[in-house]
Structure 1
């Protein structure tokens, strides 16, 4: 017996801010509107564009295009070093503007928002009216250069798909009665969660088109993905809301916290990379306390640039900058803590065990991640008080750094990298302002 037909209603709106970083720059600088523009992490030809305006996209310049290549395509392209503080501010302002039309239920990233519709809001005409009000509210209350595409669908997975189907400034709805034929023309890569590697796996199993994927029954989808993900995807693509829609809202318990940095040429040495790692830990430890966590695990990741000769005998990967490299990572476990000195001791212990020798002489990337985060209210206090008052020292440092800047007071080891590794643009989370700086 077949399942009863679902009513033609929209349960979710997915708002995707179009070319967000580039649009913010065009909002801030009216003289850049209508011109090819790209946002870059640093002013170097070897780095890659992290956002491009629609004028640049029309020329073939997109996210990931190397800056040097973008200049060849368009010698007059405007290049702007990304400003995370402005993007975070605009993201907050846009969220406020959206809230004037409909409550925001979830923020998947800095340039995406989700609204859950209730009651008669789910009726297609009313849902469309709300979507148009959201667009108008952003235009009126935040800026005329900021546009968004909105997807309307019975579940969040389809709403995200719909938001990508018409850009810029699109509005697409996918109703249960139209599914799955309404998405049969899409590419497999248009499905959230299907990247290059997954596409290769699907091709190896003779699934090369969306029509072939949609022709599978539930058991076929389960076998294709070899997991319950296939069962869920089968239902989502047909409009069902299973309660786990492919982009689950966080439980609220954060698991990791950290920072990473591609080293400048002046720091691509053992001494320079240590100073940068020290600064990354300084920032992570301060965030740990600001966000009220303890940790008992620290992981260090280092990537080493390789010469052409070295790549012939060492397994390597290619960074987005074009650098071929090898990688190394190691974890340290210790008692629960949140003070910088204890974490620094763990960092020193791991650092002493990093690989050394000619093949590891040029570190170009360092990452420091704090894992197994424990909320303060779940932390078990030590039986004996800290004899060195490490916690009090960290609290005192935080007070000064919040007031005057995050690098005002620090340990000497990070001095050579004091101005390095600034807070960069965040894609999956919105930077938070602590004191006078963002992190």
Structure 2
């Protein structure tokens, strides 16, 4: 039986994740919230969803994405704040500046987490990691958790193991053993379709994949399965790339608790999703050149049980970030491709082809709209998301 010999490079990779970032920033900005259950979201205690919850609120089983009224039912004394995107962006930039004091190899993967490569940096890697966490707390008042290992994959898994405000070290040579007992769902970068295949074969733990022989991997998953297999063994040569600090795409999805066949409800869901996507696009000070939608249909009577997905994208030929420009195009894309009469279980939308340092002189027509919707974002962050809405 042919076997592939693997050897992991000895590197020192950190994954640092700010703990309950949005809620923690709110507690720093308003010290009276310290030690209290804080929910970021809204627009009110009866409407909207939870964007973030402080650890005091999480003790009551509250998670991001939960309906606000359910969160308040589980934790009646929780304090709801609408959020402040300008503040979150400011804290993120300051955290990035702290990272750069220790190493130039910093890859921001979201507003509140980053990979750092400290290989070759003078000093004990664990002590360097501790120093970074202490610096974040002293300068920003935020706690962060950190994973230290030889790969990005293991470092990210490790950072989530002992939250909040903990450092988890996985030494070289122990990566496979560390990952083995963990659920496959704790492995980053594995999508829903892959999980369907894994479940079909009865794979539940990371170790279930890691112990396969190379030939078995090829037989079950094909060539594409090698990358997953290597990650399950703790092998990952992915580089920390500062050029990947900005998102390549931004998207949101909504699952209907009861499948619907109403175009109006789908459009309303798309509007709610687009508000989140476009505001995040402006948060990164970016513009998009491509839009896309995703629709999951429930199979009709007489068809094979289950669901089927359609995904459609459209290159705009322009760069845009305002609701006024993008939302009508999202609606048109949906209406042109929606299979009328079919029952919809999930709907999603997003933007890609993102550019940050665009030449403003090329976009005179849209710059006014950009400023308008950035002002709207600021007003919403102070007075609530329901204060102003784009009327399509």
217, 225, 235: which one aligns with 1:240: 235
| Shift in Å, 1:367 | 5.0
Corresponding residue for residue 133 of structure 1: 131
Query: Which blocks of at least 5 consecutive residues in structure 2 are unaligned?
Result: 256-262, 377-385
TM-score by length of 2: 0.70
Structure 1 residues 54 and 347 mapped into 2: Cα distance closer, same or farther (>3 Å)?
A: closer
Structure 1 residues 120 and 374 mapped into 2: Cα distance closer, same or farther (>3 Å)?
A: closer
Corresponding residue for residue 226 of structure 2: 231
| Shift in Å, 1:106 | 0.4
| Shift in Å, 1:368 | 6.9
Residue 176, structure 1, aligned to residue 172, structure 2: yes
1:213-266 CA-partner distances (Å, limit 9, x unpaired): 2221233334444343x3223333444343x46x9776799866789999xxxx
Q: 2: CA distance between counterparts of 1:352 and 1:203?
A: 35
Conserved 8 A contact 2:294-2:311: yes
Q: 2: CA distance between counterparts of 1:227 and 1:172?
A: 32
Corresponding residue for residue 49 of structure 2: 48
- Match of 1:207, SS state, is coil
Corresponding residue for residue 100 of structure 1: 101
- Greater alpha carbon shift after TM alignment, 134-143 vs 56-65: 56-65
| Shift in Å, 1:10 | 3.9
Mapping for residues 192-341 of structure 1, pairs under 5 Å = 192-194=188-190, 198-228=194-224, 230-242=225-237, 244=238, 295=289, 299=292, 336-338=317-319
Structure 1 residues 260 and 29 mapped into 2: Cα distance closer, same or farther (>3 Å)?
A: same
- Greater alpha carbon shift after TM alignment, 56-65 vs 130-139: 56-65
Q: 2: CA distance between counterparts of 1:77 and 1:130?
A: 36
Conserved 8 A contact 1:261-1:421: no
Conserved 8 A contact 1:42-1:81: yes
| Shift in Å, 1:402 | 4.0
Q: 2: CA distance between counterparts of 1:374 and 1:139?
A: 30
Structure 1 residues 196 and 56 mapped into 2: Cα distance closer, same or farther (>3 Å)?
A: farther
Structure 1 residues 222 and 59 mapped into 2: Cα distance closer, same or farther (>3 Å)?
A: farther
How many residues get paired?
Answer: 360
1:68-106 CA-partner distances (Å, limit 9, x unpaired): 222221111111112222111111111112222333520
Corresponding residue for residue 419 of structure 1: 388
Q: 1: CA distance between counterparts of 2:197 and 2:162?
A: 28
Q: 2: CA distance between counterparts of 1:195 and 1:131?
A: 30
Structure 1 residues 185 and 95 mapped into 2: Cα distance closer, same or farther (>3 Å)?
A: same
Conserved 8 A contact 1:102-1:130: no
Q: 2: CA distance between counterparts of 1:344 and 1:186?
A: 41
Structure 1 residues 221 and 175 mapped into 2: Cα distance closer, same or farther (>3 Å)?
A: farther
Q: 2: CA distance between counterparts of 1:234 and 1:31?
A: 48
Q: Rg bigger for which structure?
A: 1
